[in-house]
Structure 1
Amino acid sequence: MSTESLLEIRDLSVAIPTETSTLRAVRGVDLELRRGETLGIVGESGSGKSMTALALMNLLPPAARRSAACVNFAGADLSAVSEKELAGQVRGRKIGMIFQEPMTSLNPVYSIGRQLTETMTLHGDVSVAQARRRAIELLEKVGLPDPGSRLKQYPHELSGGQRQRVMIAMALMNEPELLIADEPTTALDVTIQAQILHLLHGLQTELGMSMILITHDLGVVSRAADRIAVMYAGDIVETGTTGQVLEDPRHPYTRGLLECVPGYREASARRLGSIPGVVPSMTGEIRGCAFAARCSRAVETCFTESPPVRALGSARTYVCHDPEETPGRLSPAEPPVARAAATRQDQDCVLKVEGVSRSFSVRRGMFGKRKSLKALDNVSLEIRKGEVLALVGESGCGKSTLTRTILGLDIPDSGSVTLAGRPVGELPPRQRARMIQPIFQDPYSSLNPRKTIGDIIGRPLQVNQVGARGEQQARVRRMMELVGLPTRVFNSFPDQLSGGQRQRVAIARALILDPEIVICDEPTSALDVSVQAQILNLLLDLRDELDLTYLFVTHDLSVVGHLADRVAVMYLGEIAECGDRDQVLAHPKHPYTRALLDSALTIAPELDVPEPHLTGDFPNPMNRPGGCPFHPRCPLADARCRSRVPERERSTDGTLVKCWKAGDAGGVFSQLAKGQALDAVPTPENNKEESAP
């Protein structure tokens, strides 16, 4: 990495006039980026991360006002460059950008080839044929098979991971000196996330470019960034190398973010740290420290005077009045969460799924032939009273179909789902709704925007005619208090609440009828890490207080380690492995489970981005592989795996696993991690039957 500076920003500010005031989205930001370096910008939603990147290239709303002492990029001051020069010489040519959501960033009516080639022909004196060759070369480099045929496809024909790869290729068409990646792995599966980060790291090394990585995932930034800038309320509150910031955080906000991450320096049985309140609206002038209202270490000076910038060496700074006088946690330490997983073995089974299969008839195009898509294949699960069962797997593995079947919204082709000993299909809809309730991923779209919070939470009581009007309102207020919602929002609407408050509303609505079991479908994936910690603590508190039972659907393995009692790993409509949380996460038996764990990014600044051992995309359910469905992506697969479906067996530690090579995954993946060839892996005894029919 070079010591030469590529980008230097001094006193960058962005003001956006509103109907009543002025939104100060960015407030005097200073940043520096060296050639070949990766700078990670982290912070909660509303901190100004994306606005800073957009201001760099002047991609701001028309009414926005940008000011800066200098925006020096490769020797030129971009604050003094005309819009025509920016569009023709800088954006897309010297500075490339990967936006957060590839489906909305790619034009749905243009082919992939047209969008890639136009990126190059508009900025350089090249022919369409040259641009096409460059596009094929980059699509191959980013790992898309058969890149020539991909040029004819449209965005909707690609998976989420494939669309993100196309966005990366598009950003690199003109070999930019700087690549800005705005949440490039958000909403992607953990395996795709690992592939994308490894790809970006390899391309950066090969092309010698610099990168700004904008994210709220501290695991991602700890592995991918050389330096970190922590943003809060439109300003940089701490900067330093990745190791310095994550291992020795000096600003209370940085420390608070780290304490919110499951598993960070704490036993998984302990409650997570939390940051009360939300990021301020940044309208008008902020007096004193912007973080003071949320900081338990704040002193009187914090509310009246702007904090000084303190330096620790040439590139290590933080902004705080009270740096070391009151060290320790941002929030007080909490007692360990009571975990009774061992005693739940004797609890009654409240939900049993036995041999459930579900297929759908799908037709491609208006005149295409119908094909069968098997979404679930002989799935069996049990959930005991009071436990948390985590259901994990990649997108498309059948998690949503399974939860819909459990809720009685979908009828299985075969098998049964029983709730408290009764088949779900035989329960009247109202009785079923009182026994099992869902909490959805996006609280904003699952709440009626025209109803007040009191009406939303109390609606199940009205539908089921539980109590009189006054009793219903009293019950709603008690539930709001239980989930931590202030009574003042009783008559508010969803758009007047923060993301965390909306999720609390969804939880209150799900619990108002005292259900036997709650299905949590990715309830924290759309939330900042600080809000996620509050919701996870709340769910555990409610579990212990109300003796609730959770089916927790997620792809975040750090959340699984913190919350779950047992884990079920799903792949292509089947349960590949199911067992006690500690056994599955510490000693996985199935190669797919091992690959998921290796792809998960914990906060470890001393480690690089892991090389993904799980290659290829998730298979099309309409073209299921023969034998073991995982064999096309498995480094252990042999002839028997390709020809015979494995049986589901119970290991000595009680884990149920469906694999011919159960138990061999650890050794093989550890050798892969060391870069050793698979030929060196000892062949187990059962490989003697490889040629068995």
Structure 2
Amino acid sequence: MSTESLLEIRDLSVTLPTDSSELRAVRGVSLDLRRGETLGIVGESGSGKSMTALALMNLLPPAARRQAAGIHFGDADLATLGEKELAGRVRGRRIGMIFQEPMTSLNPVYTIGRQLIETMTIHGGTSVAAARRRAIELLEKVGLPDPASRLKQYPHEMSGGQRQRVMIAMALMNEPELLIADEPTTALDVTIQAQILHLLSELQRELGMAMILITHDLGVVSRAADRIAVMYAGDIVETGTTEAVLSAPRHPYTQGLLECVPGYREASARRLGSIPGIVPSMTGEIRGCAFAARCPRAVPRCHQEDPPRRPVAAGQSDGAARSFVCHDPEETRGRGFAGGDTATGPAIRRGGDSVLRVDDASCTFSVRRGLFGKRKPLRALDRVSLDIRKGEVLALVGESGCGKTTLTRTIMGLQTPDAGTVTLAGRPLGEQPARQRARLIQPIFQDPYSSLNPRQTIGDLIRRPLVINRLGDAREQRARVHRMMDYVGLPSRVFNSFPDQLSGGQRQRAAIARALILDPEIVICDEPTSALDVSVQAQILNLLLDLRDELDLTYLFVTHDLSVVRHLADRVAVMYLGEIVECGPGEQVLNRPKHPYTRALLDSALSIEPALGVPAPDLAGDFPNPMNRPSGCPFHPRCPLADQRCRQRVPATETLDGTLVKCWKADTPPPSAPLDVRPDHNNKEDAAP
């Protein structure tokens, strides 16, 4: 890694006008970035991460006001360049950007080829033919097979991971000196996430780029970044090398974020730390430390005086490169964020009698390709058997398209299986009236903003299931809603509020209250924390565990976050291409997996371990098209252990060490661990700025 400075930001501020005052989105940020270095910017939503990146290229709302003592990028000061110079010389040419959601960033009416080629030709000096060759070269480099044919495709014809690869190729068309990646792996499967980060690491090393990685995922930044800048309320509150900051955080906010991460503490059964409140909107006059209202270490002067920036003393970790902004009161050192050893409430017997059984369920859909194409069968579930036991948390994991959603819809009675049966509370699901099913099983969806009617108040939304099922009069229903709001930690003042007036965590609490208002036996949690900040995720996970114990609930928890699975699951079921390929106790499946696919998922997961770097993906290829299922074992085209028997014969389900596994190679040791491809980011000679 070079010691030559590429980017120097000095005292950058961004102000947005509001109806009554001004919002200070970025407050005096100063950062340095060297050539070939990766800087990770982390923090909750609203902390100013994306606004800082957009301000570099002046891609701000028209009413926004940007001020800076200097934004020196190579030989140019971006703070003084006009719009014409920025558009012609900097954006897309010297600085590339990967946006968070590729489907909204790619033009749906233009082909991939047109969008890639225009990225290069719009700056002049390059022919269409040369740009086309460059596009094909980059699509091949980012791992898309048959890149020439991809140029004719439209964004909707690609998977999420493929679209993200296209965005990476587009950002690299002009070989930029700096790549800004804004949440490049959010909402992607754990395997695709590992592939994208590995790809960025390789391309960065090959092209000598610097990179700014914006994310709220501390596992991602711990593996991919050389240095970290922690943002809160528009300011950098701590910065230093990745290993130093994550191993010995100095700012209470950094410590709080880490305590919110499942698996950060030694005992996975312990409650997660929880940061109360939300990031404040920085409007009007700011007095004292912006974090003081949420900080367990705050003393009176924290609320009254601006905190100083403190360099870490020389000789302590990475002292020369580290600093943090805090009064650091001695009298409160050692205080942490609220957590606990176990969930509250009475202990219950988990994993008892089965409350729901799925026996050999299969679902096949008829899908037409194109307007005049022939219909072809798509087998979404293939003889799936599963049982959910009283009081347990059963985690269902697998890549997008594996059949998790179809299985949960089948369990809720929203999808009728072609074959097999679903038994709920001892009776076949099909024989139970819809209202009876609704009182036994309820869902919590991924995005609380889209699952809550924006035209109804929170009180009406939670009360609605009682109205539909005609349970109690209006007074009794209202009292029951208030009790449930107390259970989930919603203040009574939001009873008459609308969803857009609540924070993300409060909206998810409202969704949980609505799901529990009928006292269901089973709750299906469909990625309930994937759209939330890590601090809010910790609150929701603690709440779900508390409610399970207090209300004697049973959870089917659908997620792709294996750290969450490790934290709360009693049993784990792994799905692949419509089949359950492994199912057993959480400790057994996560620590001693039998199926190669389970091993690949676990190898791709990014825990907070900076020394390990980005894992090299050992799972070849993309998830197969369910309309063209492979013969034999469905996993064999991607399996490193596959042989001729795997290609020809469907494996039977067997029990090994208490785990059900569907694999011919379940007793075969895994291949050697993948190599760490990340450059040596911990070189002591490179530690100084």
- Alignment TM class, shorter chain as reference: over 0.9
Partner of 2:86: 86
1:79 match: secondary structure: coil
Partner of 2:316: none
Greater RCO structure (CA 8 Å; 6+ sep): 2
Match of 2:328 among 322, 326, 340: 322
1:183-198 aligned at under 5 Å gives the runs 183-198=183-198
Partner of 2:685: none
User: How far apart are residue 272 of structure 1 and its match?
Assistant: 0.2
Quick check: 1:55 aligned with 2:55?
Answer: yes
Separation in 1 of the partners of 2:338 and 2:525? 28
Does the 8 A contact of 1:251 with 1:323 survive in 2? no
Separation in 1 of the partners of 2:302 and 2:204? 41
- Residue 369 of structure 2 aligns with an amino acid whose one-letter code is R
Quick check: 1:494 aligned with 2:499?
Answer: yes
Separation in 1 of the partners of 2:350 and 2:545? 15
Does the 8 A contact of 2:299 with 2:329 survive in 1? no
Partner of 2:670: 667
- Residue 477 of structure 2 aligns with an amino acid whose one-letter code is Q
Does the 8 A contact of 1:341 with 1:565 survive in 2? no
Separation in 1 of the partners of 2:492 and 2:451? 21
Separation in 2 of the partners of 1:506 and 1:515? 14
2:379 match: secondary structure: strand
Q: 1:674 to 1:42 in 2, by over 3 A?
A: closer
Partner of 1:654: 658
Separation in 2 of the partners of 1:475 and 1:336? 28
- Residue 171 of structure 2 aligns with an amino acid whose one-letter code is A
Quick check: 1:634 aligned with 2:639?
Answer: yes
Deviations 1:112-168 (A, max 9, x none): 111111111111401111001111111110000000100111100111000000000
Quick check: 1:108 aligned with 2:111?
Answer: no
1:348-367 aligned at under 5 Å gives the runs 348-367=353-372
Greater mean alpha carbon deviation, residues 322-331 or residues 603-612: 322-331
User: How far apart are residue 323 of structure 1 and its match?
Assistant: 5.4
Partner of 2:294: 294
User: How far apart are residue 335 of structure 1 and its match?
Assistant: 2.4
Separation in 2 of the partners of 1:3 and 1:154? 41
Task: Provide structure 1 residue ranges, at least 5 long, that are not aligned to the other structure.
Answer: 676-693
Partner of 1:685: none
Match of 2:458 among 431, 435, 453: 453
User: How far apart are residue 260 of structure 1 and its match?
Assistant: 0.1
User: How far apart are residue 314 of structure 1 and its match?
Assistant: 3.0
2:366 match: secondary structure: strand
- Residue 311 of structure 1 aligns with an amino acid whose one-letter code is P
Partner of 1:523: 528
Does the 8 A contact of 1:270 with 1:334 survive in 2? yes
Match of 2:337 among 331, 340, 365: 331
User: How far apart are residue 265 of structure 1 and its match?
Assistant: 2.8
User: How far apart are residue 334 of structure 1 and its match?
Assistant: 1.0
Structure 1 length as normaliser, TM-score? 0.95
Does the 8 A contact of 1:7 with 1:73 survive in 2? yes
Partner of 1:398: 403
Match of 1:430 among 425, 435, 441: 435
> How many pairs align?
671
- Residue 127 of structure 1 aligns with an amino acid whose one-letter code is S
Of all paired residues, the percent bearing the same amino acid is 80
1:645 match: secondary structure: coil
Does the 8 A contact of 1:309 with 1:318 survive in 2? yes
Does the 8 A contact of 1:250 with 1:323 survive in 2? no
Task: Provide structure 2 residue ranges, at least 5 long, that are not aligned to the other structure.
Answer: 313-318, 678-689
Separation in 2 of the partners of 1:656 and 1:20? 61
Q: 1:341 to 1:574 in 2, by over 3 A?
A: farther
Q: 1:671 to 1:80 in 2, by over 3 A?
A: closer
User: How far apart are residue 605 of structure 1 and its match?
Assistant: 1.1
1:445 match: secondary structure: helix
Does the 8 A contact of 1:588 with 1:663 survive in 2? no
Q: 1:340 to 1:262 in 2, by over 3 A?
A: farther
2:437 match: secondary structure: helix
Match of 1:578 among 554, 568, 583: 583
Separation in 2 of the partners of 1:328 and 1:381? 46
Partner of 1:274: 274
Deviations 1:287-328 (A, max 9, x none): 100000001110000001100000123321100012554333
1:8-157 aligned at under 5 Å gives the runs 8-157=8-157
User: How far apart are residue 419 of structure 1 and its match?
Assistant: 0.4
Separation in 1 of the partners of 2:348 and 2:376? 45
- Residue 399 of structure 1 aligns with an amino acid whose one-letter code is K
Partner of 2:221: 221
User: How far apart are residue 615 of structure 1 and its match?
Assistant: 1.7
- Residue 15 of structure 1 aligns with an amino acid whose one-letter code is T
Deviations 1:390-443 (A, max 9, x none): 000000000000000000001000000110111111111111101100000000
User: How far apart are residue 667 of structure 1 and its match?
Assistant: 2.8
Separation in 1 of the partners of 2:611 and 2:456? 49
Partner of 1:680: none
User: How far apart are residue 286 of structure 1 and its match?
Assistant: 1.5
Does the 8 A contact of 1:269 with 1:339 survive in 2? no
User: How far apart are residue 333 of structure 1 and its match?
Assistant: 4.4
Separation in 1 of the partners of 2:624 and 2:162? 13
Deviations 1:353-375 (A, max 9, x none): 00000000000111100000000
2:71 match: secondary structure: strand
Q: 1:329 to 1:581 in 2, by over 3 A?
A: farther
Separation in 2 of the partners of 1:340 and 1:473? 27
Does the 8 A contact of 2:613 with 2:676 survive in 1? no
Separation in 1 of the partners of 2:350 and 2:287? 52
- Residue 667 of structure 1 aligns with an amino acid whose one-letter code is P
1:80 match: secondary structure: coil
Quick check: 1:251 aligned with 2:258?
Answer: no
User: How far apart are residue 75 of structure 1 and its match?
Assistant: 2.0
Deviations 1:545-602 (A, max 9, x none): 1110000000000000001100000000000100000000000000000000000000
Does the 8 A contact of 2:615 with 2:674 survive in 1? no
Separation in 2 of the partners of 1:558 and 1:432? 31
2:442 match: secondary structure: strand
Separation in 2 of the partners of 1:210 and 1:324? 38
